Amino acid sequence: MGAPILVDNADLAVKTLGVCRIDSPLLPLLGERPTTQHYIDESDKVLYDDTALMISSRGVALDDLPGFEPAGPRRKIYFDPSKTRVGIVTCGGLCPGLNNVIRGLVLELTSHYRVRRIFGFRNGYQGFIARYGHDVVDLTPESVANIDEDGGTILGSSRGQQDPAEIVDCLSRMNINILFVIGGDGTLRGAGQIAREAETRGEKIAVVGIPKTIDNDIPYIDQSFGFQTAFGKAAESIRVAHAEATSAPGGLGVVRLMGRHSGFIACYATLAKSNADVVLIPELPFKLEGDGGLLNYVRRRVAERGHAVVVVAEGAGQELVVGQPESTDASGNRKLHDIGPELSRRIKEYFDAEGIELNLKYIDPSYVIRSVPANPYDSVYTIRLAHAAVHAAMSGRTEMVVGRWRRRFIHIPIPLAISQRNQVDPAGDLWMSVLEATGQPPRFE
Ligand SMILES: Nc1ncnc2c1ncn2[C@@H]1O[C@H](COP(=O)(O)OP(=O)(O)OP(=O)(O)O)[C@@H](O)[C@H]1O
Ligand SMILES: O=P(O)(O)OC[C@H]1O[C@](O)(CO)[C@@H](O)[C@@H]1O
Ligand SMILES: [Mg+2]
């Protein structure tokens, strides 16, 4: 049986604004380097398939094998640096490393390419829209020098739909040639619209994204920046919950972590601090009642060990919260019901009804995990993504994001990056590791 063919070369082709005629200022650094494990030449590609079955199922010649365009500096670039004007914007929820990306972009643009004008647009896509009255910020090596020491984003962020035509009007008025967009799936949808609006008008504006998501829900990326910092911080809450639970009779810690549609934070935080007994993720519905239900399992676990810790991702068990109104945020994302308190209430009720002592401590680190500065791993990762984004934009790539696929830095067309959501695969080895670490059954049903 052949493996399914997921994408082909047409899906992976990145748009360019035109022929590159200008020698890159980085040329002296580039030399003649062959592709190795540590470097990939611009003429090469990073293969999409990496198993023999996937490759053989295509029945194609090597040239036709789908491969991502590698990131990195090009020998020829599209934009003349001395005349290039750049914009940077951050949108959506916070993520560790946003300031690192801004800093990395500014330093690479100025130090190597000698770009002179870089504008920071304030408060997400609102920053382009005149009626909001947000000033633009001049970004210089001096103004970004130490911003990586702080969480958040010096530019501010926002949610809420803005008109791509108005955004392109603004970019044209300001003669901006390159726009760097740092944001999640919604932001990248917006970035795609901006790139296409510019294209329709015949404007040569490169729109390059740096995908941001603590939920790690953007596909075709090994892991998103800030994710490691976020789950590391989340793991501290699991440790706290465990300490509380083990220090009281009938101790139970319930930890609610972010993750709307993807349970990666819950899984990784649990594996990082493997003393949770149960992990609940949005990808796997669960039943509370009955022999195979969660309540019975938690009761048994507390009886056997004297304590237990339950980790629940915010998008898990939404169907269990009834009678609350449905709503959306400014960007149209569904606002989730708060599963943490509801789950705690149901567990308490159950233990009360069974007449079993319970000392439940509820912990929700909430925004703490995403507003902290990037850890050293994410600091390295963000600066490398920023470098890759600058090289891509200067060479005229557009409607694309930078990413890392199997440890290689690559270019991903925006339509592909927003084509689906990255989720924990209940049949995959990550979830298997979670089951191994917690000892919980594969399903509560
Ligand atoms: N479907 C869409 N089409 C065009 N633009 C969008 C769309 N969804 C969101 N946007 C734009 O992207 C911005 C950010 O979107 P959103 O609030 O969904 O955050 P996000 O980028 O997905 O990040 P997060 O991971 O925090 O949700 C919004 O200000 C909005 O203008
Ligand atoms: O409260 P806010 O800022 O709208 O964002 C909350 C959401 O943003 C995220 O952190 C993603 O950016 C989700 O995990 C969370 O549900
Ligand atoms: Mg989103």
Query: In this structure, what CATH number is given to the domain that contains residue 278?
Result: 3.40.50.460
DSSP state of 320: G
Per DSSP, the three-state class of 113 is: coil
122 neighbors 135 (Cβ within 8 angstroms):
yes
418 neighbors 189 (Cβ within 8 angstroms):
yes
61 and 149 assigned to the same domain? yes
268 and 175 assigned to the same domain? no
Residue 59 domain-assigned? yes
Q: Which residues contact 412 (CB under 8 A, 6 or more apart)?
A: 12, 14, 68, 220, 221, 400, 401, 402, 403, 405
Q: What is the pLDDT of residues 343-377, one digit of tens each?
A: 999 999 999 999 999 999 999 999 999 999 999 99
183 and 244 assigned to the same domain? no
pLDDT of 1 above 90: no
C-alpha–C-alpha distance, residues 424 and 407, integer Å: 19
C-alpha–C-alpha distance, residues 191 and 181, integer Å: 7
pLDDT of 269 above 70: yes
User: Of 65 and 140, which is predicted with more confidence?
Assistant: 140
What the block records as the tokens of 354 is 């069974």
291 flagged as catalytic:
no
Tell the residue nearest (CA) to atom 20 of ligand 1. 184
71 and 181 assigned to the same domain? yes
Residue 325 domain-assigned? yes
Strand partners for 225: 212
Report the range of poorest mean pLDDT among 182-191, 251-260, 322-331, 400-409.
322-331
Range of the domain at 355: 228-371+426-438
434 and 296 assigned to the same domain? yes
381 and 359 assigned to the same domain? no
In a 10 Å sphere around its CB, with 0-12 CB exposed, 13-18 middle and 19+ buried, how is residue 425 labelled? exposed
433 and 315 assigned to the same domain? yes
Residue 411 domain-assigned? yes
Q: What is the pLDDT of residues 43-96, one digit of tens each?
A: 999 999 988 888 888 888 888 889 999 999 999 999 999 999 999 999 999 999
70 and 181 assigned to the same domain? yes
Label residues 130-167 b or e (16+ Cβ within 10 Å = b): eeeebeebebeeebbeebbeebbbbbbbbbeebebeeb
42 and 90 assigned to the same domain? yes
Q: What type of residue sits at position 11?
A: D
Long-range interactions of 325-333: CB distance < 8 A, separation 24+: 329/159, 330/158, 330/159, 330/160, 330/161, 331/92, 331/159, 331/160, 331/161, 331/186, 332/161, 332/186, 333/159, 333/186, 333/260
164 lines ligand 1 (CB under 6 A): no
Instruction: Point out the catalytic residue in the list 215, 217, 277, 378.
Output: 215
Task: Give the ligand whose atoms come closest to the C-alpha of residue 263.
Answer: 2
CATH code of the domain containing 209: 3.40.50.450
Residue 4 domain-assigned? no
Residue 1 domain-assigned? no
92 and 154 assigned to the same domain? yes
Mean pLDDT of the chain: 95
Residue 32 domain-assigned? yes
Tell the residue nearest (CA) to atom 9 of ligand 2. 93
What the block records as the tokens of 155 is 């530019």
Q: Report the candidate in 35, 34, 31, 30 with the shortest Cα–Cα distance to residue 47.
A: 35
* Minimum-distance ligand 2 atom for the alpha carbon of 259: 14
Residue 237 domain-assigned? yes
Residue 132 domain-assigned? yes
115 and 50 assigned to the same domain? yes
261 lines ligand 2 (CB under 6 A): no
Q: Which residues contact 235 (CB under 8 A, 6 or more apart)?
A: 268, 269, 270, 272, 273
What the block records as the tokens of 372 is 């902290």
367 and 381 assigned to the same domain? no
In this prediction the pTM is 0.95
